[in-house]
């Protein structure tokens, strides 16, 4: 079972994604509510995949992505974006994000994305 770290400042999103993933063969090993906590948890848990929200307080998803890739170039991070964040997503892709999913998304989309990477 692939280990996943879910990063989002909205509890709603974390619970929503966690529910979908846990019921579909993924092991959600941790959650983080901002980029700084995400980097720490990545170090601590070494997940196989990270779902990374973009807009968060303290440290955003883009910076967290870069920090994580810096620590572990093989890290598999999927950005979770909203419409209108093209510039940040572009930067993320060029900085090593394995891909991205755009809100609102359906469960199938989320699962197909993670299944591709695991």
Partner 1 sequence: MRDDSLLEVFLFESQQLLDNLEGLLLEGEKNSSLDSGQVDEVFRIMHTIKGSSSMMSFDNLYRISHSVEDLFSRIRDLGDRCPDWNGIFNMVLSAVDFIKLELSKLQSGGQADRDPADIISGIEEFVKEMPGADGAEKKAAASAAAQPPAGAEAPEPAGCRPCYKIKVQFDDGCQMEQIRALGIVKALEKLCVKIVHQPDDLESEASREAIVSGGFTLYVQSGENPDTLKKVLAETLFLRNSSVIPLEDDNDELPEQLRAHRPAAESAAKPGAVPSGQESIVRQNFISVNVNKLDSLLDLVGELVTTEAMVTKNPDLAGLQLSNFETASRQLKNLTSELQGIVMSIRMLPLSTVFHKMQRIVRDTSKKLSKKVDLVLIGEETEVDKNIIDNLSDPLMHLIRNSVDHGIETPAERLRKGKPETGRVTLEAKNVGEDVVITVSDDGAGLDRAAILKKAVEKGLMEKADGGVADKALFSCIFLPGFSTKESVTEFSGRGVGMDVVHKSVEKLGGSIFVESRPGQGTVFTIRIPLTLAIVDGMRLIVGPLSFIVPMVAIREAFVPDAKDVFIDPDGNEMIMIRGECYPILRLYEFFGINSAITDIADGILVLIESDSSTLCIFVDKLIGEQQVVVKPFPEYIQKIASNLDGVSGCTILGDGRISLIINVNNLLRK
Q: Which of 36/45 has CB closer to partner 1?
A: 36
Between the two ends of the chain, the Cα-to-Cα distance in Å is 9
Residue 37 binding partner 1, by CB under 8 A:
yes
Residue 98 binding partner 1, by CB under 8 A:
yes
Q: Which stretch binds partner 1 (CB under 8 A): 8-16, 23-31, 42-50?
A: 8-16
Q: Which of 44, 46, 70, 116 binds partner 1 (CB under 8 A)?
A: 116
Residue 16 binding partner 1, by CB under 8 A:
yes
Q: Strand pairing of 49-53 and 77-81?
A: parallel
7 contact partners, CB below 8 Å, separation of at least 6: 31, 32, 33, 34, 35, 37, 38, 50, 51, 52, 53, 56, 61, 64
Q: Which of 63, 69, 72, 111 binds partner 1 (CB under 8 A)?
A: 63
């Amino acid at each position: 079972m692939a280990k996943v770290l879910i990063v989002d400042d909205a509890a709603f999103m974390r619970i929503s994604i966690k529910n979908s993933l846990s019921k579909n063969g993924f092991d959600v090993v941790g959650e983080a509510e901002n980029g700084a906590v995400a980097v720490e948890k990545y170090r601590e848990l070494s997940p196989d995949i990270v779902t990374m929200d973009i807009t968060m307080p303290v440290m955003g998803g883009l910076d967290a992505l870069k920090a994580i890739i810096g620590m572990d170039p093989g890290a598999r991070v999927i950005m979770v974006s909203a419409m209108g964040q093209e510039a940040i997503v572009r930067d993320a892709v060029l900085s090593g994000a394995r891909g991205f999913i755009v809100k609102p998304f359906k469960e199938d989309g989320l699962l197909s994305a993670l299944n591709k990477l695991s």
